Amino acid sequence: MINKNSVIKIHSPHLGRITGDSVPSCIDKDDMVAFNLERGRRLLVKNGLLWITVQNDHNDYLLSVDREMPIPGKRKVIVEAEEPSCFQID
Domain ranges of the chain: 8-89
CB-hemisphere CA count at 13 Å for 67?
12
In the chain, which residues have pLDDT < 50? 1-21
Helix or strand (DSSP H, E) at 42: strand 41-54
Q: Which CATH architecture has domain 8-89?
A: Sandwich (2.60)
pLDDT at residue 22, rounded to an integer: 57
pLDDT at residue 19, rounded to an integer: 35
- What pTM was estimated for this model as a whole? 0.76
